A and B are shown apart, each in its own frame.
Chain A
Amino acid sequence: MLNEWHMGSLLLQLIYNGLVEGAILALTGLGATLVWGIQRVANFAHGDYMTLGAYVAFLLDVTWSTNPVVAAIGTVVATAALAVGLHFILLRPLRGRGLVALSLITVGLGLVLRNALFLVAGSQPRQYAFNQTAVIDLGFVRVAPAELWTGIAAITAVPAVAAMLAWTPLGKTMRAVADNRDLAEISGIDTDGIGLYVWIVAGALAGLGGAMLALVQGTFDPNLGFNVLFLILTVVVLGGIGNAFGALLGGLVLGVVMEVSTWPPFFGGVPTQYQPVVGFVVLILLLMFRPQGILGRARVL
C-alpha cells in the first residue's frame, strides 16, 4: 500500500523531471530545427553553441558575479553573436554544397569549439553560484528553483517562436525561404538577411538552453552540449525537420519517455545510465513507421 503510493509519487516526479529535461531539449531543438529547415544545415556544432553559452554564463555569474538576469541576457547575446558570426564567415559562403558537406563542416566546427574550450577553460567541472540545494516540496513533486526557471523559459520561448512563424511577416518570410529559396529571392526577400534572423534565434536559444542544462545538471564541463547533441538532433527529426511545434512536442515526449522508462513498475525500470538508449530506440521505432517525423508532412512522388 505504502509502496504503491510511493511508486505513484515517483512516477509523478519522473514525469516532472522528464518535462524539465524535455523543455531544455525543446528549447535547443527549436533553434536546430529552424536552422536545418530554413538554412539547410544539420548543425552538428549546435551542442557546442550550448556549451559556449553555459561558459559565458559561468563567466558572468561566477567570475564577474553579475546579477543572474544580466548573466542570462549576456549569455543569449553572446551565443547569438557567435552563431551569426559563424554564419557569415563560414556557412553562408558555402551554401549550396549539399546537406552532407555542410554537416561535415559543422562537425569540424564543433571539434574546434569544443577543444578550444578544453584548452581555454580546462576540463575541471564547473558550477554556478546559484543556490542549488533549495528545493520547493509541493507534496507530490519536489521542484528545484533552477528547474522552475527552465520550465518557464521553455514554456514562453517555444510558443513565442511558433507564433512568430505562424503570424508575423518575418515568420512567414522564414517559412517561404524554407519552402522555396529561389522563389523567395525572386519575390523580393533578401534570403541572406533572413539567415541572420534564423541564426539569431537559434544561437540565442542554444545559449539559453546550454546555461539551463548546466544549471539543472549541477556541474558541467566542455562536453556539456556535445553529450546531448544527438538527443537534440533526435528531437528535430522526431518533430519533423523545420517544424517548431514538432520540436516542442518531440522534446517533451523524448524527455518524459526517457525519465519514465526508469520507473520500476515499467519492466523493473531501465537503469538511469541507459536513458539515452531509450531515446534512440524511440527514434528508430518512430522512423520505421513515420519517417517524416511526428508533425512532418509526407512527400509523394
Chain B
Amino acid sequence: MDILNPAFWVFVGVVAGIYGLLALALYVQFSMAGLPNFGHVAFMALAAYTMALLVIRADVALVWAGVAGIAAAVALGLLLGIPSVRLRANYLAIATVAGSEMIRYLSTNLNLTGGAVGSVGMLGPTHFATYTNAWQPFIESITAALRHAVGSVATTDFSMFCLVWVTLGLLLMLFRRLERSPWGRVMKAIREDEEAAASLGKHVEAYKLQALVLGGIVGGLAGILWALEIGVFSPDDFQPTLTFYAYLILILGGMNRVWAIPVGAVLFGVLYSGTRFLSFFPLSLVDTGERAYLRLLIVGLVLVLLMAVRPQGMFGKREELLLEK
C-alpha cells in the first residue's frame, strides 16, 4: 500500500482512536482507581459479540444491540470485579486475565459465536452472517453530509474517523473534569491507600465498582466501534496482547496524564499499522506473512525500551514514580 495514500492514514487514525478508547477505559481503572486489570480486551470482545449476536440471531435493532453489548461488558466488569475488589493488586491482575481468557476460549469454541471464523459463522457454515446492514446506510449518510463540507476526502473510513475521535475527545473532556472533581480525589486516594480512604468515611468498594463500570462502558464502546469498523471479526481480533497495547498507549503518553492518551494512541497507531503496511528497509527483508511477527516484535521492543528508559512516559514527571510505594 502506498504510504502517501491518505485513505491509509485515515484507517490508521480510526484504529488509533479505538485503541485510544480502550486505553481510556484502562485509565479509569488503573491510573485513577489503581485496579490493574490485565484482561481489558474482554470488555471489547464481549460487547462486540453481544451486539453481533443480537443483530444476527435475534434481529434486534443495531442501536439496542449496541447498548446491550455495552451492558454486557459492564456486567462482566462487575462479575470479575465484585469478588476482586477485595483482592490485593497482584490477584486482581490474575483474576482479570483469567476472566478474559475464559471469554476468548468460549468464543473460539462455541458454535453460537461462530467459533474460530468469528462473526461470519454465527449462522453456521452455510450462511454468511453480517451485522452491519443497518450500519452501512447510517455511515453512508454521514459520509454524504461530510462530503458537502470537506469534499472528496470524505469516505466511510473518514466518517468513522470523525465519529471515533469526537467520541474520544468528548470522553477525554469528561474524564478530565471528573479527575479534578472531589470524586476524582477520592479515586486517587483509593489508588494510593484504600484503608486510609475508608478511615475517612469513603465507601471504597462503591468507588471501585464505579471504576469497573466506567471501564466496562468505555471498553465496550471501543469493542463496538471496532466491530463496526472492520465489518467482520473473529476471536483473533481480541488477543490478550490487545490489553497490553492499551497499557503501551498509556505509558507512551504518561501513566497519569489523561490528555496524553490521544498522543500515545496516535504514536501507537503509526507504529503498529505503519509496520503492517510499509515495506521499506528493514521491513523489506521479510515477506508480508512474516511481517506480522516483525511488527509484534517491534511493539514488544518499544514497550521494553520505553519502560526502561522513560517509564513516566513523555509527559509524566519522574518524581511521581519515585514517590510510589
Contacts and interface: CB of A to CB of B under 8 A. Distances in A.
B221 to A, nearest CB: 24
Binding site of A, secondary structure by majority: helix, strand, loop or mixed? Answer: helix
Contact of B303 (A42, A100, A107, A233): A107
Interface stretch (B14-22, B101-109, B145-153): B101-109
B86 interface: yes
A288 B85 CA distance: 10
B301 to A, nearest CB: 6
B178 interface: no
Binding site of B, secondary structure by majority: helix, strand, loop or mixed? Answer: helix
Nearest to A91: B308
Contacts of A274: 105-106, 109
19 contacts: A97-B307, A103-B38, A104-B244, A104-B251, A108-B299, A108-B304, A111-B300, A112-B300, A116-B293, A119-B286, A119-B294, A234-B98, A237-B90, A237-B94, A276-B101, A280-B101, A283-B94, A287-B94, A291-B86
A225 B80 CA distance: 26
B307 A42 contact: no
B302 interface: yes
A284 B79 CA distance: 11
Interface of A: 42, 90, 93-94, 97-101, 103-105, 107-112, 114-116, 118-119, 230, 233-234, 237, 241, 271, 273-274, 276-277, 280-281, 283-284, 287-288, 291, 301
B109 A273 contact: yes
A57 B247 CA distance: 34
B83 A230 contact: no
A155 to B, nearest CB: 27
B93 interface: yes
A99 B95 CA distance: 16
A99 B90 contact: yes
Q: Which of A104, A112, A116, A301 has the most CB of B within 10 A?
A: A104
B321 interface: yes
B311 A97 contact: yes
B99 interface: yes
A93 B274 CA distance: 31
Contacts of B241: 111
Nearest to A106: B304
Given A111-B296, A241-B90, A291-B88, A271 B304 contact: no
Nearest to A119: B293
